[in-house]
Structure 1
């Protein structure tokens, strides 16, 4: 069953979109055709907090309303910002189609895979740490942080625009080593959720350096899950 997906970069950085295209060219999508969208230049270049998330949502929604052909052309939409981005809900309401955020896909993976004992989110900057920890609480519907399955988020203090740069990798590797061998050495961590679209593609490198840990690429996992959601709906097993 052929399906068509729109991969949305909700910031205006073409660099991020280029990396998404590069990473997803190697993903087995089983007759899923991917198109890529970068938010207009009036959107934030980098999404760093709730305010820039709202700004990005407003710009993308306004642009989508001018592009009615998107609603019939695409079967599903993926929002490539690792957060509880407001565009996920508003785009679902606007299009009536399945919309998935990359954060949500990784949390589903961590919760549903029996091989995962405990995981944490590795994100770009420390500013995101409390926001993503709260997003975990909200996603699982808990009143407190679910410590049996997750540990608190850790930031790299690397800009999203630079995460895919080769020269930054050594710094990222050293930070991951510090977390795994010192800060979380007693936490039974065996899975790390790569919590930023700018980290797409780092899973292979990190898995080589830390072979006992599963590194979950948020973009790859979200693409595969969105394919399943779209096909499930097309089989008329669920109504939106």
Structure 2
């Protein structure tokens, strides 16, 4: 009897580029709630202690990129994986830098939770009939003030559009004033709920917002706060229809498909 092996597993490494183990645990909890294929294996990585404990501005982004890139490339660990998800909601250099490297079977499939969230939102918002009702929108709720300009510019660059031109589908970025690390200890949970709820309601005031993106890996598991804010703002029926995008989940799902597509479409 002759047998053939027809399926291969997909091994995804989820990289937390800051050194907070607590934030990695929050990301892991979000992944455990996903309905994944049996052939998908997820592994997590926390940056060494030299990396910032919370990525709060551009300097932290660059520092974390240098530490993680050096650690992952010197160890040869990436050869074990098919794909990498960079779990920092920013235009993170690791997405481009790791995408140039090889994994277990050729080029790594790499995305960040920022890029995956943009693609997920655009695929999910409704396109109404022309000139009937205002365009449906998506937007981002994130942490500190720094990220407003960074993410707004990032969306324009990623989509290849002029940032000075109006974007009818993007409602913009609203901030809580918190740091990423605040979501995992040290800050009163009620204060976090208040700030996240307020930022969400400001975003929802900008039009027919159908998708709210949680713009921080540290927000994993806090979608119930955004849901409550949407119900307060829109009422139960419309509020329950708002789609809340968790970038970690969006990223894992996108990478599963990227790996499958590469196997289907690349030359043998």
Determine if the TM-score, normalized by the shorter chain, exceeds 0.5.
yes
Q: Determine the structure 2 residue equivalent to 1:122.
A: 141
Change (3 A) 1:201 1:166: farther
In the TM superposition, residue 184 of structure 1 has moved relative to its aligned partner by 4.7
Query: Take 2:186 and 2:60, find their aligned partners in 1: how far apart are those partners?
Result: 27
In the TM superposition, residue 94 of structure 1 has moved relative to its aligned partner by 2.4
Change (3 A) 1:146 1:194: farther
Please list every run of at least 4 consecutive aligned residues from structure 1 whose deviation after the TM superposition is greater than 4 angstroms. Answer: 164-169, 179-184
In the TM superposition, residue 162 of structure 1 has moved relative to its aligned partner by 2.0
Q: Which has the larger radius of gyration?
A: 2
Q: Does 1:38 align with 2:49?
A: no
Superposed CA offset, 1:79-127 (max 9, x none): 0000110000001112321001001111001112243710111001112
In the TM superposition, residue 187 of structure 1 has moved relative to its aligned partner by 1.5
Say if 1:48 and 1:127, in contact at 8 Å, map to a contact too.
yes
Unaligned segments of structure 2, at least 5 residues: 1-6, 128-135, 232-238
Unaligned segments of structure 1, at least 5 residues: none
Q: Determine the structure 1 residue equivalent to 2:133.
A: none
Q: Does 1:207 align with 2:227?
A: yes
Change (3 A) 1:170 1:94: same
Match of 1:78 among 76, 85, 95: 85
TM-score, scaled to structure 2: 0.81
In the TM superposition, residue 186 of structure 1 has moved relative to its aligned partner by 4.9
Match of 2:64 among 56, 59, 74: 56
**Equivalent runs, 1:2-13 vs 2, <5 Å:** 2-13=9-20
TM-score, scaled to structure 1: 0.89
What RMSD in Å do the two structures reach over aligned CA positions? Answer: 2.2
Say if 2:21 and 2:46, in contact at 8 Å, map to a contact too.
yes
Q: Does 1:65 align with 2:68?
A: no
SS of residue paired to 1:83: coil
Query: Take 1:20 and 1:182, find their aligned partners in 2: how far apart are those partners?
Result: 26
